[in-house]
Amino acid sequence: MSDLYDFGLKIGEFLRGVLRTAAAADDADADAADATAREAGSPTAEARGRKFPEAGVDFIQHDVRVRFTFEKGGEEVVTMHGAMLIQRDEARVGKLGLREVPFKVLSWAAAGWSNTLGASITYVLTADTEQPVSVIRAEQEGSDYPASFLFNVLFDVRVDNMTVYKGLHGRPEGEHFHRIPPSGDRAMSPTITKFSDIGKVMVKHPDLGEIVGTPIDCNDRQGRTVVTVPGLRRIKGEPHGY
């Protein structure tokens, strides 16, 4: 597994240990609410509360499956194990008249192994670049949940730690979330299966020809708020493409 991914995990452990705030108690309450919802048979807005959480920083671990097809024949599905840090502002009413939470990705790395290439593949947040605005948006008036995650992220693709594509724009969309930050419970944090075509990776290989990487799905495994910043309204602008 790549050094970048290991580094991301270490950062997450550090933040959880050092920046622990009242969010830890909130997480315990959220876990209990998740359990109540599962026992009831379906997640509800009441089980998670009707309001988005206070602004803060979340650490999220996830698995992304990517299908790589090779111009000269064959394909391979690679599971990328990832860790992401996001900063959320306070909720506000957006242009669509729905409550929403602007956020930006602060750090991200996801790594997997390709048997076909005999090499590691790493997606990593593009350095020295202002990340576009992402948003969590209520799906109806009068209640914050369920909500949609609409990601905007610029990232690089590396093979054996050599950059082969820079500044790719990824736009995963996930619907019907009942938990922020997302968790490993699929009833509360559904599988993300919608990706814009601009998230495809297309690179040339000297022996295999053009390689196209297309995301299949993404499942969150764990999510924790590592610090809360009540009242934060730092993020400006509208999410691109939504």
Render the chain in DSSP notation, one character per residue. Answer: --HHHHHHHHHHHHHHHHS--THHHHHHHHHHHHHHHHHHTS--HHHH-SSPPPSEEEEEEEEEEEEEEETTS-EEEEEEEEEEEEEE---EE-TTSSEEEEEEEEEEEEEEEETTTTEEEEEEEPTTSPPPPEEEEEEETTEEEEEEEE--EEEEEEETTEEEEEEEEE-EEEEEE-SSS--S-TTTSPPB-EE-GGG-EEEEETTTEEEEEEEEEEEEEEEEEEEE-TT-----S--TT-
Q: Is residue 234 one of the residues assigned to a domain? A: no
Confidence tier at 199 by pLDDT (50, 70, 90): low
pLDDT of residue 9 exceeding 60, the answer is no
- Give percent of the chain above pLDDT 90: 68
Domain that holds residue 77: 3-38+57-228
Confidence tier at 17 by pLDDT (50, 70, 90): very low
Q: Is residue 96 one of the residues assigned to a domain? A: yes
Confidence tier at 35 by pLDDT (50, 70, 90): low
Rounded to whole angstroms, how far apart are CA atoms 156 and 137?
Answer: 27
Q: Is residue 45 one of the residues assigned to a domain? A: no
Mean pLDDT of 180-204: 90
Query: What is residue 46's predicted lDDT score, i.e. its pLDDT?
Result: 46
pLDDT of residue 127 exceeding 50, the answer is yes
Comparison of pLDDT for 28 and 141, the residue scoring more: 141
Q: Is residue 68 one of the residues assigned to a domain? A: yes
What global pTM score does this model have? 0.81
pLDDT of residue 129 exceeding 70, the answer is yes
State the total domains in the chain.
1
At 70, give phi and psi (nearest 5°): -115, 130
Q: Is residue 235 one of the residues assigned to a domain? A: no
Query: What is residue 215's predicted lDDT score, i.e. its pLDDT?
Result: 94
pLDDT of residue 7 exceeding 50, the answer is no
Mean pLDDT of 113-139: 96
Query: What is residue 36's predicted lDDT score, i.e. its pLDDT?
Result: 47
Rounded to whole angstroms, how far apart are CA atoms 187 and 230?
Answer: 28
Confidence tier at 31 by pLDDT (50, 70, 90): low
Confidence tier at 3 by pLDDT (50, 70, 90): very low
Confidence tier at 240 by pLDDT (50, 70, 90): confident
Comparison of pLDDT for 37 and 73, the residue scoring more: 73
Q: Is residue 115 one of the residues assigned to a domain? A: yes
Segment among 41-45, 52-56, 121-125 with least mean pLDDT? 41-45
Query: What is residue 196's predicted lDDT score, i.e. its pLDDT?
Result: 85
Q: Is residue 61 one of the residues assigned to a domain? A: yes
Q: Is residue 208 one of the residues assigned to a domain? A: yes
